[in-house]
Amino acid sequence: MTTPDWRITCIFVDRDYRKKDLSFVALSGALELIKNLGGGIVESYPQDTQGKKVSNSFLYNGTRQIFEKAGFSYESEKGKNHCIMRRTID
């Protein structure tokens, strides 16, 4: 596996603003910045909830679903509840 050019390791949303799709907005903004800086391979390690309800306090890097929505591909699992997601930005 090729080493990524970029890693998104945390997406923090204050508890008063959660459940408003702001994680996706933040992720989209980060991807736009990466594009403006020349792009490359972007990797992240979101929570893979597998459809189960999980406390928002554990979702510090978002969920697999928001990364899929942003065009990332699932690569493999990483530990018990996380996965590796990748996307190439041209």
| 49-61: pLDDT as tens digits | 777 777 666 666 7
Summarised one tens digit per residue, pLDDT across range 54-86 is 766 666 678 899 999 999 999 999 988 889 999
CATH number for the domain running over 6-89? 3.40.630.30
The residue among 83, 81, 4 whose CA lies nearest residue 43 is 4
Summarised one tens digit per residue, pLDDT across range 7-30 is 999 998 888 988 888 999 999 999
How do the domains of the chain map onto residue ranges? 6-89
Q: Residue 90: is it exposed, middle or buried by C-beta count within 10 angstroms (0-12/13-18/19+)?
A: exposed
Q: What is the mean pLDDT of the chain?
A: 90
